[in-house]
Each structure stands twice: as structure tokens, then as C-alpha cells.
Structure 1
Amino acid sequence: MAHDASGGEIVAANGAADGKKAGFFARIALFVRQVIAELRKVVTPTRKELLKFTSVVLGFVVVMMALVYGLDYLFSWVTTVVFGVPS
């Protein structure tokens, strides 16, 4: 049976290992082992990186909010010009 670098089994594209299909609970156990192996690869960002990432995300959100507000204002102005002010 083939193993990847994390020690987990490598399952063929059709879901079989060594030509036979693993049982339901064996596949769940394999999935859990692979999830744990991937979680061990996660690197926690430093405080400086975390602040930088947070500021980039907040900046992007502010820009997108301004874009949506501007489009909303433009479309409401266009509909007012085209259809007139309701009385």
C-alpha cells in the first residue's frame, strides 16, 4: 500500500487502495488521519503578519462597501431620472 509524506494512505482515484474498496469506517478513519496530517502543516502567523492580513482584509471590505454604495447611488439616480420622482 502506498503512503504519502505525511504517513497517510494514498487512495486511487476510484476510491480503492490496492484494488479493493475500503470499508465505510476505514474510509472515515483515513479521512480523519489525512485531516490531522494537514492540520500539522498549518503555520500560525506572527502578530505582525496577523495585523497586516487583518488590515488588508478590512481595507478591501471598505473599498468594496464604497463601490457598492457608489453603484447603488448611481442606479437610484438613473432610475429617478428615467422614471421621475414618485409623488
Structure 2
Amino acid sequence: MPESSSRKKAAYIPPPAKSSGPKVNPPWFVPVMLTLMVVGLLWVVVTYLTQSQYPIPGISQWNLLIGFVFIIAGFGMTTRWR
């Protein structure tokens, strides 16, 4: 009976090396993140203190939504902070 031929394995090639350093945020990232959260907080406080007349007159309770959008945008940036 003939002997089966042996299979040749391909040479092991290691995966490419990953970047050596950790990724960092640009210098403007943290100030923008904190500014969005503070502006949103101040917007909501002004809306409550002026009984929804300001910061933008005439849109009443929509001022709260605008303030919360600023706050949520700031917190959304915290998920990308390194």
C-alpha cells in the first residue's frame, strides 16, 4: 500500500504589531466637554429661575430641552475621553 504524502504547513506569520502608545485626546476635548455640561446646567437653572421666560423668550418649556441637550452632549463626550 502506498504511503500518503505529508502536508506542508505554511510558515507562521505573526499578526502586525499594534501601535505602541495609548491614544490620547486632542487638547480641546476636555474643555469643550466640561463647557457643554456647565452651559447646559446653567441653561436649565436660568430656565427654572425665570419660570421658562429666558434664555430664549417665547419658547417656554423648550428651553429645558435645549439645556438637557447640552448636558447630554457633554456626557456623551465623556464616553470618548481617554
When normalised by structure 1's length, the TM-score is 0.30
Point out the structure with the larger helix share.
1
Higher-RCO chain (CA-CA 8 Å, sequence separation at least 6): 2
Query: Greater share of strand residues, 1 or 2?
Result: 1
Q: TM-score, normalised by structure 2?
A: 0.32
